[in-house]
Every structure is written in structure tokens, then in C-alpha cells.
Amino acid sequence: MNTVKIAALSLSLFCASYASAATIKIGTNQQGSLFYSLGAALSKVMVEKTDKQYRVSPFAGSSTYIPMMNSNRLDFGFANGGEATFAYLGQENFEGRENKNLRLVGVVVATQTSFAVPTNSKVKSIGDLVDMRVPSGYNSGRTFHYYSNAALASGSVDIEQTKKVPAPNFVTAITALAENRVDAALIPMNVGAGKKAMATMDGGWRYLSLDNSDASKQAVSENLPSARIVSVSPSESKTGVVDDPTHMIEVDFYLLASADVADETVYELVQTMASNKDSLKSAFGAYARYNPQGMVQDNVVPYHEGAIKAYKEMGIWNK
């Protein structure tokens, strides 16, 4: 074999080795967030069950890493249904910046969120937040700006009717609640930062129950696409839920991908997730709510071809 052929073979073997060893990155919000815990658990299971190297990459917020997926600088990332819609269409916090290179992988979990207040607070309803100190802005995690507007709108309250306290993201807002710098803060169900606040606050905190009228449901949906109001009952597994029922905002959390991620990679990820719910649940308890048969839901963002192949084999592709 001549020198040229040997060199070509060596380069080919090197490239194949590099490709197999390349790290696949999953974008999440910062540590302490639900997205981070979901991503860390998914990375752990994918490393255990495949020959691929996965790594969680935390950022200040999904509005930071979604454009990175769009430009193929990040492989996967989490977003709620509303933010996925905004990003793809170039609306709201993505105004004028369409992210048409985004693709859906599938629904991972649905999560519930509402405003929380100290347990001994005089605030009993969303309407009581008028003239109270409420986090605002969420410049590093902009999706919570829309969560906040939706939750406030359910009680016919506008953020301008409150005493706005700037907060870059929901974790810092929860910290502000724990330190008595705000009177209420949005806390996703069972998120780590919320549990930490519960443990450190004298008396802890409790969720406010949203109004459940048709008008409130419409207001929530208008402010945050794909959001809905659901009823939650107290249990040991639901931190902060006191009223029975407690009405909260529920939104589907999607796993997204860059359109440039190889079909085989996305296909393998979906198949591995669907076959290893118990492992995912062991890695992070929120995956107990993960339903492989419910991964396909309507959204304006198109599904990745690799995911479509997997769902057709699973018999759940209905597009």
C-alpha cells in the first residue's frame, strides 16, 4: 500500500473515531432548574445505554441556547410549548429572529406552575398581588415573563399593577422570595430551587390557586401558547400544594433539536428514552410523568425526521 493510500486510510479511521467520540450537548437552564435536572438525567441514561457521549450544558435561560440550536452550535435543548412556538415563528421574545432550523423531538413531561407566597402571607389569590412586590423582566429566562403574565391575567391583574422587582430568571426570583425581597414568585412544581426555598424559609411557602373560569383559561392561553389550567390536589410528592384543589398553569416541556443533528442520532435518542423510562425515573423523579406514548403533540415546530422514523415504528405518528 502506497503512502497516499495509507494516509487516506489513517485519516478515515481518525474521522470515524472522532465522530464516534464526539460529545452530544443538551442545552438547559442553570443548575437548580427543572430543565437542568431533566437534561442531566437524560445525559446520564444516554451515556449508560448507548456508545455516545452526552453532556448537559447549562445556560442562563432557554432564550440563550435556542438560537445556538438554530445555528447548529448545540444539538439538543429543552423548551416549553409556548417558547418553542415563539422561537420558531420569531415572535415575542424572539421578535424578528425566526429560528426555522429548530425541530421537535417530543414531549418529555408536562409541568405545573403558579405563584407561591410565604405560608403566613395575607395574599390568598392572584388578585391580592396588586401593589405587592412581584418579580419581573426575566431577561435571562424570558419564558417566565410569559408565565408571569399568564398567571396574573388569570386573576385580571397586569404586571404594571404590581411593584415590579427586576429578576433575571426564575431561580433568582425564588431566592428573592426566600430572602423576603419579593412577596410572591413563580415556582415550577417540585423544582430544586423551590424545595431549597421551602427548607430555608421560616414556615415555608404555599401555592396560590388560579381562577378556573373560562375567561381565565382563555387569558392564560393567549399569554402563553399551549398553556392550560389544571387542578392539582395536595400530596406528599407535591411541594407547596395546600388548597384542594389548587389550580395551576400546565405546559408541555419539549425536547428540541437542531435540524442538522443526524437522523440516526435523534432516532436512537427517542428509542432509548422510550425503552428506558425506569432508568430515567431513577435518575430524576420527574420522569415518572414521562409517557413515551404521549411524545407526539401538535405544535407549529416541525418534528425531526429521526424522531418521525421512531414514532412510526412505535405506532404513534399521527401527522
- Report d(CA 256, CA 253) in Å as an integer: 10
Counting Cα atoms < 13 Å in the Cβ hemisphere of 82 gives 25
pLDDT for 27-38, tens place per residue?
Answer: 998 887 889 999
- Report d(CA 210, CA 5) in Å as an integer: 70
pLDDT for 87-99, tens place per residue?
Answer: 999 998 899 999 9
Domains of the chain listed by start with CATH number: 22-110+253-314 (3.40.190.10), 112-251 (3.40.190.10)
Cell numbers at residue 223, please?
399569554
Q: What is the mean pLDDT of residues 111-127?
A: 97
The reported pTM is: 0.75
Q: What is the mean pLDDT of residues 60-64?
A: 83
pLDDT interval class at 318 (50, 70, 90): confident
pLDDT for 246-271, tens place per residue?
Answer: 999 999 999 999 999 999 999 999 99
Pairing state between β 23-28 and 76-80: parallel
Cell numbers at residue 49, please?
445505554
Looking up cell 390568598 gives 124
Using DSSP's 3-state secondary structure scheme, residue 226 falls into coil
* Contact yes or no for 114/249 (Cβ under 8 A): yes
- Report d(CA 154, CA 84) in Å as an integer: 22
Contacts of 223 (CB under 8 A, 6+ apart): 146, 149, 150, 153
* Contact yes or no for 174/134 (Cβ under 8 A): no
Lowest mean pLDDT among 17-21, 67-71, 152-156: 17-21
* Contact yes or no for 235/241 (Cβ under 8 A): yes
Bigger pLDDT: 20 or 295? Answer: 295
pLDDT exceeds cutoff 50 at 313 = yes
pLDDT interval class at 147 (50, 70, 90): very high
Q: What is the mean pLDDT of residues 273-286?
A: 96
Residue 119 carries which side chain, given as an amino acid letter?
Answer: T
Cell numbers at residue 74, please?
448545540
Using DSSP's 3-state secondary structure scheme, residue 125 falls into coil
pLDDT exceeds cutoff 80 at 18 = no
- The gap from C-alpha 143 to its chain's centroid, in whole angstroms, comes to 9
**What's the pLDDT at 2?**
55
For the beta carbon of residue 12, count every other beta carbon within 10 angstroms: 10
**What's the pLDDT at 15?**
46
pLDDT exceeds cutoff 70 at 123 = yes
- Looking at every residue in the chain, the average pLDDT score rounds to 91
Q: What is the mean pLDDT of residues 179-200?
A: 95
- Report d(CA 27, CA 38) in Å as an integer: 10
**What's the pLDDT at 20?**
44
Q: What is the mean pLDDT of residues 222-251?
A: 94
**What's the pLDDT at 225?**
82
Share above pLDDT 70 across residues of the chain, in percent, rounded to a whole number: 93
Counting Cα atoms < 13 Å in the Cβ hemisphere of 134 gives 27
pLDDT exceeds cutoff 70 at 21 = no
pLDDT exceeds cutoff 70 at 79 = yes
pLDDT interval class at 1 (50, 70, 90): low
Bigger pLDDT: 17 or 114? Answer: 114
